Every structure is written in C-alpha cells, then in structure tokens.
C-alpha cells in the first residue's frame, strides 16, 4: 500500500476519504444548525448526482472531481438520514430505523446487480442511472422535509412514532 510506505497507516488513509470527511462535516453542520437531517440529505444526494453525471462522461478531465463528488457527497448522507429518522421517532428509534434500513439494504443488494447489467451496455448509462436514482432520493428527502414542516405548522402532526397504533396516537394527542 502506497500510504503505508509514505508513513500513513490504512486507518489514517480511510479517515481522510471523502465519504468519511463529508459524513463528519455534515453531521457537525446538522448539529450546529439544530437540523433534523433531511434537508442536508437532499443537498448531499443532489451533489452526488452531479458527481455521477460527471463520471458518465468517461475519459474526461472531470473524472477526479466527479469521483470526489459522487463518493463524497453521494455516500455522505446515510448518517444524516439516520439522524432524521431517529429525531422524528424518539419513542421507537429501533423500529423506525429498522423500517428504513430495509429499503437501504434492498437498494444495497439490487444496486450493484443493476449497475453491472447497465455497465454491460455502457458505463455512461450505468453512472447516469445512479445519478437519476440519487436525484430521485434528493427529491423524496426534500418532499418529506416539506411535508413534515407543513404538518408541524398545521398542528396535525401527532409526533407518534412509526408503528404506533391508532389508540396510542389518540392517547398521545389527548383525544
């Protein structure tokens, strides 16, 4: 390993990787701004989709910035997503994250297979497909954030955790 010959251990090189730096920085920003995470998820996924599009332009000088954006921002969002889920479901964080992680792992299982199938046709097509998926994720995160804000402003948000029964929601709401 080149890093080891230069005096840097494997763990030091991994700590300096773009996804790790982005996750730490984004988490610190979310903490300072008292954010629940979905807004930053949308921002990171959008930046990641730009990176994936740059990777679709293979052979271009944009390969390095594209890789940094795609891997840094495109994979910097999971911690913020967990923050958003847990902060919204403090009464049942395990249930809430269990539900959301099901989707994450379905994507983790299906994604490489789909990417490989598309890469067999064209790597540009495969990277463009990832860009579209990341952008769709950004839209979902932004839409969910707006829906949460609207429900809270209207007073219609019971604050009940995911999986709560209608009776538990009525009791919590004082009805």
Task: Give the model's confidence band at 89: pLDDT under 50 very low, under 70 low, under 90 confident, else very high.
Answer: confident
Q: Phi then psi for 160, rounded to 5 degrees?
A: -70, 140
Stronger pLDDT, 70 or 171, i.e. the higher one: 70
Lowest mean pLDDT among 61-75, 89-103, 117-131, 144-158: 144-158
Say how many C-beta atoms besides its own lie within 10 A of residue 102's C-beta: 10
Tens-place pLDDT, residues 100-152 = 999 889 989 999 999 999 999 999 999 999 999 999 999 999 999 888 888 87
pLDDT attached to residue 132: 96
Q: For residue 77, what are the CA distances in angstroms to 24, 29, 131, 162?
A: 10, 13, 15, 21
24 closest CA partner among 100, 69, 75: 75
pLDDT attached to residue 114: 96
Q: Phi then psi for 62, rounded to 5 degrees?
A: -80, 0
Confidence (pTM): 0.75
Most confident of 82-86, 95-99, 144-148: 95-99
Please report where in the chains the tokens 């090189």 appear, as a residue: 13
């Amino acid at each position: 390993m080149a890093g080891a010959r230069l005096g840097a251990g494997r763990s030091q090189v991994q700590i300096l990787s773009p996804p790790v730096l982005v996750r730490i920085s984004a988490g610190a920003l979310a903490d300072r701004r008292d954010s629940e995470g979905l807004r930053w998820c949308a921002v990171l996924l959008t930046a990641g989709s730009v990176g994936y599009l740059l990777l679709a332009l293979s052979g271009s000088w944009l390969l390095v910035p594209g890789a940094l954006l795609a891997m840094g921002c495109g994979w910097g969002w999971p911690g913020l997503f967990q923050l958003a889920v847990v902060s919204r479901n403090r009464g049942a964080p395990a249930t809430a994250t269990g539900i959301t992680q099901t989707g994450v792992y379905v994507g983790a299982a299906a994604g490489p297979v789909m990417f490989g199938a598309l890469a067999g046709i064209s790597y540009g097509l495969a990277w463009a497909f990832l860009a579209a998926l990341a952008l769709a994720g950004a839209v979902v995160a932004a839409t969910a954030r707006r829906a949460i804000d609207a429900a809270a402003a209207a007073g219609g948000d019971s604050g009940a955790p995911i999986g709560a029964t209608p009776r538990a929601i009525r009791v919590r709401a004082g009805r």
